[in-house]
Amino acid sequence: MLKQYYLISILIILLSGCNLNDSSHAKNSDITKEPLTWLPNAGNATAEFNPDFPFLQFIPDLDLTGLTNASQGRELFIAEWTAAPGTRPLLDGLGPLTITSACSDCHLAVGRATSLNANGEVGVGLLFRLGNPFGHSDPFYGGQLQTAATSGNSEGQVSWAFDENDKPIFTLVTHQLALTEGINLGPRLSPQLVGIGLLDLVSDNDILSREDVQDLNSDGISGRAHWHTINGEKMLGRFGWKAMQPTLRHQSAGAMQQDMGLTTSLNPTEPCTELQTICNDQPNGGSPEVSDNSLAAINDFLTLLAVPERRISNQDEFDQGARIFANIGCSDCHQPTLTTANSDKYPLLSNQVIYPYTDLLLHDLGHDLNDNVKEGDAQPSEWRTPPLWSLGLIEKIKGSRFLHDGRATTIEEAITWHGGEALTANNNFKALPAVEKKKLLSFLRSI
């Protein structure tokens, strides 16, 4: 479906003040214009910025009396799960193959989980998909590496080092089988969960209206939807680095299975292949180990998380940064606004204009960001546009990294690795005068 340029651009200009369709991508455009008009960046889900607790806080003034599941979901999210049989039946069933024992180990309230650590060690904030450029997973280890175990040996550990081009190279160290020839390690950095519930409420039509698979407008951008067939139903992917999960419920269930070895009604089996016996050798915590009620509670918790407000010290410079962001082409993929659909369950979040700076579509980002692992219909060099809101808060945290494999330590580094459909925007960024580059980066750190 061709991007509905005229209607969408008019709406976004009115709401966000960003001209998404300036085909000139001028590097020296007039950026001293009238002040832009901005709505709260997450509508009713916008929260006052709290430097001591920027993430994982509830929407302010939320009436939880009718949403008691959300509070229970928070407890399940931060709880340490244990192997079965455990003294807490609600929280047992962990493993036997895992990456971590708590959701909050990878999704922190104050920053980003560690990834590329010193001495070649890999932290819990970086997991590894296993596959080849044709979409085949490893016949022994499956589609994801589990680096911990509740009993016996894990599948292995990964070490890393930078190559001559400052690209991280990963090596599996294991006491079990070597990876099958042609199978690669696909690193996936764990994201903050900023506004993830709002993205779940965006309609498929809003996302599909931005698609331009054949690049019919000849702007070099051909974002496309990632479709999946689940239990016979065609569903639009929107979560994860490759848009592999269609809903927040599927995303949570998938992470529980692959990262914690917990079964749900959506994923009723452990993350073992037919060649691995460890899952059958260990007791489970029920069938499934995470009930539908518990999964719904976690979903409520994630849906009702607030998004920190913008941190703007100079409104005029912020507006100039927004215009530069649009003029050099960044907003062609990182589109400023989406709109949530009507929601009977979450009426407070219905029909909200939000500013996540994503189109939730797949884009080819070129050779340098190709990890030789195909997932679903997403090619190795294709990535879902990651949201940018609260990006500056993440950068401030010591040890934070960016891009799918954590190679970038700053926002500027992350931009300069972009290729493929984003190469023109990258070149435009590099050619900016220093003062305009500073305003752009300041804008990105404030949204």
Residue located via tokens 């070649």 = 120
Tokens of 310: 């913008």
Q: Is the domain defined by 5-58+311-446 classed in CATH 4.10.780? A: no
Listing DSSP states for 196-220 in one string gives HHHHHTB-HHHHHTT--TT-TT-SS
Tokens of 403: 């891009």
State what percent of residues in the chain have pLDDT above 90.
Answer: 88
Per-residue pLDDT tens over the stretch 399-441:
899 999 999 999 999 999 999 999 999 999 999 999 999 999 9
Task: Please tell me the distance from the alpha carbon of residue 355 to that of residue 39, in angstroms, as a whole number.
Answer: 9
Q: How many CA atoms lie within 13 A of 186 on its CB side?
A: 29
What are the boundaries of each domain within the chain?
5-58+311-446
Per-residue pLDDT tens over the stretch 59-110:
998 887 767 799 999 999 999 999 999 999 999 999 999 999 999 999 999 8
Task: Please tell me the distance from the alpha carbon of residue 48 to that of residue 62, in angstroms, as a whole number.
Answer: 14
Single-letter code of the amino acid located at 342: N
Tokens of 284: 């489970």
Q: Report yes or no: 142 and 273 within 8 Å, Cβ to Cβ.
A: yes
Strands 362-364 and 338-339: unpaired
Per-residue pLDDT tens over the stretch 370-403:
999 999 999 999 999 999 999 999 999 888 999 9
